[in-house]
């Protein structure tokens, strides 16, 4: 009996780890929330790069670290069955071209990890170059996979 209870708990725990969502709308909200946090931090960095906000290498580095960590969150919300329907700006091409979308997401994750490392080193010019690369790839994904 004890073995059955342990196995049952492990099965339930595995299911809970697999997906925190009960409905597609929850998966959509989750990924949108992650993207909102990414956009807030990315926007602050963009303002510093453009000069509309005073450059602060320490703050920029912090923002880059945050975005680097957040880039891994949205994918889970795209993988949930039915999350392609509902209130979303996600294009159907995400699911019909999952490999292309996944490759762009991976590139974004790599770009942001690079930006976080470069920003941590403290070289403003190198940081701005790394940001430009990340922004270029970020925009590319939006063009292909997001309704405006």
Q: Where in the chain are the domains?
A: 23-145
Q: How much is the pLDDT for 14?
A: 46
Q: How much is the pLDDT for 63?
A: 98
Domain 23-145: what homologous superfamily?
Cytochrome c/b562 (1.20.120.10)
User: From the annotation, which residues make up the binding site?
Assistant: 138, 141-142
Which tens digit of pLDDT belongs to each residue from 77-103? 999 999 999 999 999 999 999 999 999
Q: Are 81 and 24 in contact (CB under 8 A)?
A: yes
Least confident window among 9-23, 64-78, 90-104? 9-23
User: From the annotation, which residues make up the binding site for heme c?
Assistant: 138, 141-142
Inform me whether the pLDDT recorded for 8 exceeds 50.
no
pTM: 0.83
Q: How much is the pLDDT for 2?
A: 52
């Amino acid at each position: 009996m004890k073995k059955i209870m342990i196995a049952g708990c492990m099965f339930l725990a595995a299911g809970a780890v697999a997906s925190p969502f009960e409905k597609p709308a929850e998966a959509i909200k989750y990924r949108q929330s992650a993207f909102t946090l990414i956009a807030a931090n990315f926007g602050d960095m963009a303002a510093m790069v453009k000069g509309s906000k005073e450059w602060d290498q320490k703050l920029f580095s912090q923002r880059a670290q945050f975005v680097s960590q957040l880039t891994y969150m949205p994918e889970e919300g795209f993988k949930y069955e039915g999350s392609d329907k509902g209130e979303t700006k996600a294009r159907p091409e995400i699911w019909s071209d999952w490999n292309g979308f996944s490759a762009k997401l991976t590139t974004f994750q790599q770009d942001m990890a690079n930006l976080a490392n470069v920003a941590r080193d403290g070289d403003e010019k190198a940081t701005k170059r790394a940001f430009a690369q990340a922004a270029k790839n970020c925009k590319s994904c939006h063009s292909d996979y997001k309704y405006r």
